[in-house]
Amino acid sequence: MASHGRRDQLSHTGDRTATEVVVALIKKPAVATGLSLWLLGLYFCLFAAAPVTITPEMERNFFNELDAAQRIPGLAKAEADLSAIEAEMDAYKVWFWRFRPEYRARVEALQPEYDQIYATYSELDTQRRQQIADAQGKLGVWSEFAVMDVRQRFWDLMGMSKDSAKRSTFYGALFSIGRRDEDLVSFLLRMFIDFIISWIMALVMATIFFVGVVIDVIIAYQASFLSAIAFFAVAMLGAAAMVATFIFLLASPVIVPLTIATVWPERLRGFTRTAPSYLHEPRRPHQD
C-alpha cells in the first residue's frame, strides 16, 4: 500500500510539473512570439485568401493579353526555324565531333544561320515575355493568380523533396543489400531513419529554392518595393511554418522521448528508484 501511495504521489507531482513547465514556456515572450508566428504562418500557407479578387472581366482581359502574347507576328515561325536548325546541328554533334573535321566543318557552316535565327527568336521572345509581364502586372502580386502560383509551386517543391528522399533511401538500400552484420529488423529501422533524415534535408533545400520562386513571382507580377517586401515576408513565413511542421512530425519519434527524458528526469528516476515494498522486508525463516 505504501508503495502504491508513493507511486501515485510521484505521478501527481510529475503531472503538476509537466503542466507548470508547459505554462512557463508559453508565458515566455520568445516562445509566445514563436508560437504566434508559427500559427500565423500556417494560416497564410493553408487558409488565407488573396487580398485582390479576380473579377470575370479582369480574368477575361488577362487571358486575352496572354493569348495575344503567344500570337506575336513571326514568333511561331521563329520557334519552328530555331527547332529545325538545332535538330540539324545536333545530328552532326556526334561523339568527339570537335575533333572530327568533317562533322566540325558542318556544324561551323550552320553556326551563322543559327545565330541569325536565334537573334530573331530572342527578340520576339523578349517581346512576348514583356507582354506577359505587363498582363501579370495589371493583376498585381496580391492577386488570386499570384497567390495560387506561389502555393502551387511551393507544394510542387514539397512533393519533389519527398521524391528525392525516396530515391536517396532506395539507392541506399540497394547498395547495402547483402550486409551480414544486421538482421531484417535492423535493416528496416535503418532505412526508415535514413528516409526521415533524407526527407528533412530535402525539405530544407526546398525551402531555400522557394526563396527564388517567391522572387521570381514578385518580378513577374511587377510588385512595388514595399509590396514586394511584404509579399516575400508573408510567403516565407508560411513556407517556414509549414516546413517546420513537417520536420517536427518527421522527427517527433526521436524528439518526444528525448524531451520527456530531459524535462521530467525526476519523475523517471522516481519510478526506477522506487522498488516494491516486499523487496525491503526481511525474509521470514521457513517453517516446516
User: For 121-148, how does the pLDDT look when each residue is reduced to its tens digit (9 = 90+)?
Assistant: 999 999 999 999 999 999 999 999 999 9
The mean of the pLDDT values for the chain is 84
Residue 271 CA: distances (Å) to CA of 14, 21, 267: 11, 20, 6
Flag whether pLDDT at 258 surpasses 70.
Answer: no
pLDDT in the model for residue 201 = 94
Flag whether pLDDT at 47 surpasses 60.
Answer: yes
| Cell numbers 541506399: residue | 172
Last residue of a domain, one of 139, 174, 198: 139
Instruction: Say whether both 115 and 158 belong to one domain.
Output: no
Whether 121 is in a domain gets the answer yes
Percent of the chain residues topping a pLDDT of 70: 78
0.75 exceeded by pTM:
no
Domain count, the chain: 2
User: Would you call 265 helix, strand, or coil by DSSP?
Assistant: helix
- Give the residue-averaged pLDDT of 198-213: 95
Instruction: Say whether both 108 and 199 belong to one domain.
Output: no
Residue-range definition of the domain harbouring residue 222: 30-52+140-269
pLDDT tier, 74 (very low <50, low <70, confident <90, very high otherwise)? very high
**Least confident range of 5-9, 41-45, 235-239, 262-266:** 5-9
In terms of C-beta density within 10 A (0-12 exposed, 13-18 middle, 19 or more buried), how is residue 146 classed?
Answer: buried
Instruction: Say whether both 218 and 264 belong to one domain.
Output: yes
Whether 69 is in a domain gets the answer yes
